């Protein structure tokens, strides 16, 4: 192998991607024809529309993805110039023809299809700056060819218009391109729908068998009886024509052949019974014409239902939405529901992080270049984390903090956050400032009455306790005549003792 060794340049790429792309067409090694080319995206769309757990899981995912609030923040220490650019970027992306949350939802579909592609269109604002007119989706099934270099870098795509069947080149430089290339380096990526394709096919087949099982259940399959041999003998004897024989048999034949149960189906038959030939001449109770249902024991519909539910759980497990099935069979617990929901929230946060980084590259950076803004003033996109907020748990945490000494101020923003979760009116800044002012007056003692005392905690007067030996000590003020004279001390002491008693 020494003869093949070269030093190589550290600033140049030496290898290439592992996916073959010829003439812009991605070569696939799939053996299933439904998973090749643009056909696979049609198959994925059918799965999304026709399989309920997939539709519910995808919509659950997208609703959570579009819920968090996005903000544009300027760089630290950028001053008024950085704030001005951040405000213009916010106006550009939050005031397009398509709302930003819909752009986020469309981009997030790369998790399922493998990739997502959107094209932005710029516009000139009244103040002379450049903004965005819109960011529009380009369906995966319409993108036929890829413009790649020898190292696999995407420079654009060729889209086939469903209206005119013409090809349109969309450059990568004016696009928002998301791809899940974790498991393979194809520009089309590998999404969750591909992992669910075989399970979905099996589920459709099992549900088809279940439907046939209900229609063909032996307990609902009719069996008809009639004197067909007697009719044939009459035909052979020339007493009945073939046409008349077929006319007599037709109602029963149609009823048996079309045995699917329906509410308006019925059949009239001849009530004549067979004649007996025993010695007693007892009339027979068996009708010549009759229809009855086959009798059968237990069927395998229960096992079929278990197989169907196993496939449904497999699909939910791939998407991470098993929490949607909790309680369906009477099993599960609150702790299990919180754990599974928490794991799904982590998936949402991970996707939002990827979207944030790609939006900064594909949306914010082009806007900076179009306007000629300096790179050091480039703002960043921030998105809040998705999480379930239990008001009871939050308020209890605040109570615990207050008991530990961290008491909330009247103008603390946490109060409005809790009021918002409870659906209560939000306090304005003026109202919060008034509350803060009243609280500061109480602390400084300017309020003569002091802060209100909670009911049941008012101070109670405690009567003074007299100690032994204090009965002889009386203040001079308690004597109406004032201090006693020297000659009348004994009389004064007697009067004081009587008064004390």
pLDDT, average across residues 248-270: 72
Domain boundary among 361, 383, 405: 383
pLDDT band of residue 379 (cuts 50, 70, 90) is: very high
CA distance 348 to 329: 27
Give the model's pLDDT for residue 474.
Answer: 44
Does 424 reside within a domain? yes
Give the model's pLDDT for residue 280.
Answer: 66
Q: Per DSSP, which regions of 74-172 are E strands? A: 115-124, 130-138, 143-148, 154-160, 167-171
Give the model's pLDDT for residue 461.
Answer: 54
Same domain for 148 and 52 = yes
pLDDT, average across residues 49-66: 94
CA distance 460 to 470: 25
Q: Which of 399, 41, 381 is nearest to 194 (CA)?
A: 41
Same domain for 184 and 143 = yes
CA 492 to chain centre: 94
Backbone angles phi and psi of 324, in degrees to 5: -70, -20
Give the model's pLDDT for residue 444.
Answer: 54
Examine the pLDDT at 423 and tell me if it is beyond 50: yes
The count of structural domains within the chain is: 3
Percent of residues, the chain, with pLDDT higher than 90: 42
pLDDT, average across residues 127-136: 95
More confident residue, 295 or 405: 405
Does 413 reside within a domain? yes
pLDDT band of residue 311 (cuts 50, 70, 90) is: very high
Same domain for 408 and 343 = no
How do residues 193-241 score in pLDDT, each as one tens digit? Answer: 999 999 999 999 999 888 877 766 655 667 788 888 888 888 888 888 9
Tokens for 217?
A: 């259940």
Same domain for 153 and 47 = yes
More confident residue, 187 or 462: 187
Q: How many helices (H) and strands (E) does the chain have?
A: 15, 12
- Contact residues for 217 (Cβ-Cβ < 8 A; gap 6+): 296, 299, 301
Does 495 reside within a domain? no
CA distance 426 to 255: 70
CB 34 within 8 A of CB 188: no
Domain boundary among 345, 360, 383: 383
Same domain for 117 and 25 = yes
Give the model's pLDDT for residue 419.
Answer: 80
**Which segment, 25-34, 402-411, 474-483, is predicted with the most confidence on average?**
25-34
Q: Give the other-Cβ count within 10 Å of 361's Cβ.
A: 12
Does 10 reside within a domain? no
CA distance 44 to 501: 102
Examine the pLDDT at 292 and tell me if it is beyond 60: yes
Same domain for 143 and 267 = no
pLDDT, average across residues 352-357: 96
Q: In whole numbers, what is the pLDDT of the chain averaged over residues? A: 81
Cα dihedral 337/342/343/349 (nearest 10)? 150
Same domain for 429 and 353 = no
Same domain for 370 and 230 = no
- Contact residues for 159 (Cβ-Cβ < 8 A; gap 6+): 138, 142, 143, 144, 167, 168, 169, 170
How do residues 147-175 score in pLDDT, each as one tens digit? Answer: 999 888 999 999 999 999 999 999 999 99
CB 132 within 8 A of CB 122: yes
pLDDT band of residue 191 (cuts 50, 70, 90) is: very high
pLDDT band of residue 110 (cuts 50, 70, 90) is: very high
Q: Which of 51, 54, 22 is nearest to 37 (CA)?
A: 22
Examine the pLDDT at 482 and tell me if it is beyond 50: no
Same domain for 65 and 157 = yes
CA distance 40 to 197: 9
Same domain for 372 and 407 = no
Q: How many CA atoms lie within 13 A of 150 on its CB side?
A: 4
How do residues 25-49 score in pLDDT, each as one tens digit? Answer: 998 888 888 898 889 999 999 999 9
Domain boundary among 383, 399, 416: 383
What is the domain extent for residue 264? 219-293
Q: Give the other-Cβ count within 10 Å of 439's Cβ.
A: 14
Q: Enter the pTM of the model.
A: 0.69
Examine the pLDDT at 316 and tell me if it is beyond 60: yes
Examine the pLDDT at 447 and tell me if it is beyond 60: no
- Contact residues for 156 (Cβ-Cβ < 8 A; gap 6+): 146, 147, 169, 170, 171, 172, 175
Does 49 reside within a domain? yes
Give the model's pLDDT for residue 477.
Answer: 47
Question: Which stretch of 127-131, 365-369, 395-399, 467-471 has the lowest confidence by average pLDDT?
Answer: 467-471
Give the model's pLDDT for residue 169.
Answer: 96
Does 433 reside within a domain? yes
Same domain for 397 and 342 = no
Give the model's pLDDT for residue 98.
Answer: 96
Examine the pLDDT at 450 and tell me if it is beyond 70: no
Question: Which stretch of 36-40, 427-431, 446-450 has the lowest confidence by average pLDDT?
Answer: 446-450
Does 494 reside within a domain? no
β-partners of residue 175 are 119
Does 283 reside within a domain? yes
Same domain for 409 and 375 = no
């Amino acid at each position: 192998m020494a003869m093949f060794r070269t030093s190589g340049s550290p600033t140049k790429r030496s290898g290439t991607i592992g996916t073959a792309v010829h003439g812009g067409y991605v070569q696939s090694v799939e053996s299933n024809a439904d998973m090749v080319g643009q056909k696979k995206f049609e198959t994925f769309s059918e799965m999304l529309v026709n399989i309920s757990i997939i539709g519910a899981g995808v919509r659950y995912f997208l609703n959570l993805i579009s819920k968090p609030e996005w903000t544009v923040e300027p760089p630290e220490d950028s001053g008024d110039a950085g704030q001005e650019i951040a405000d213009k970027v916010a106006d550009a992306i939050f005031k397009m023809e398509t709302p930003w949350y819909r752009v986020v939802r469309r981009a997030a579909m790369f998790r399922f299809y493998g990739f997502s592609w959107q094209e932005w269109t710029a516009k000139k604002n009244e103040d002379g700056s450049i903004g965005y007119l819109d960011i529009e989706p380009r369906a995966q099934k319409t993108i036929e060819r890829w413009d790649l270099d020898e190292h696999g870098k995407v420079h654009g795509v060729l889209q086939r218009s469903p209206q005119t069947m013409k090809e349109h080149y969309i450059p990568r430089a004016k696009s928002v391109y998301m791809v899940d290339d974790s498991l393979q380096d194809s520009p089309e990526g590998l999404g969750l729908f591909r992992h669910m394709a075989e399970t979905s096919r099996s589920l459709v087949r099992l549900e088809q068998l279940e439907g046939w099982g209900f229609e063909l259940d032996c307990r609902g399959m009719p069996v008809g009886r009639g004197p067909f041999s007697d009719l044939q003998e009459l035909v052979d004897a020339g007493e009945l024509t073939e046409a008349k024989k077929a006319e007599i048999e037709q109602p029963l034949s149609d009823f048996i052949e079309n045995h699917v149960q329906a509410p308006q189906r019925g059949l009239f038959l001849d009530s004549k019974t067979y004649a007996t030939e025993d010695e007693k001449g007892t009339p027979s109770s068996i009708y010549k014409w009759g229809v009855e249902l086959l009798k059968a024991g237990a069927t395998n519909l229960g096992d079929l239902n278990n197989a169907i539910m196993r496939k449904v759980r497999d699909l939910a497990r791939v998407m991470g939405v098993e929490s949607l099935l909790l309680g369906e069979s009477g099993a599960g617990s609150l702790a299990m529901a919180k754990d599974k929901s928490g794991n799904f929230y982590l998936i949402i946060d991970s996707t939002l992080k990827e979207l944030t980084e790609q939006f900064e590259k594909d949306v914010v950076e082009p806007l900076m270049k179009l306007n000629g803004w300096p790179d050091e003033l480039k703002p960043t996109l921030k998105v809040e984390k998705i999480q379930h907020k239990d008001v009871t748990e939050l308020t209890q945490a605040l109570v615990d903090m207050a008991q530990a000494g961290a008491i909330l101020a009247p103008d603390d923003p946490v109060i409005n956050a809790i009021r918002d979760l409870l659906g209560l009116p939000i306090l304005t800044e003026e109202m919060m400032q008034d509350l803060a002012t009243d609280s500061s007056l109480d602390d400084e003692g300017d309020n003569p009455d002091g802060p209100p005392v909670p009911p049941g905690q008012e101070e109670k007067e405690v009567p003074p306790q007299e100690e032994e030996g204090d009965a002889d000590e009386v203040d001079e003020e308690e004597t109406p005549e004032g201090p006693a004279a020297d000659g009348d001390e004994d009389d004064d002491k007697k009067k004081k003792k009587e008064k004390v008693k």
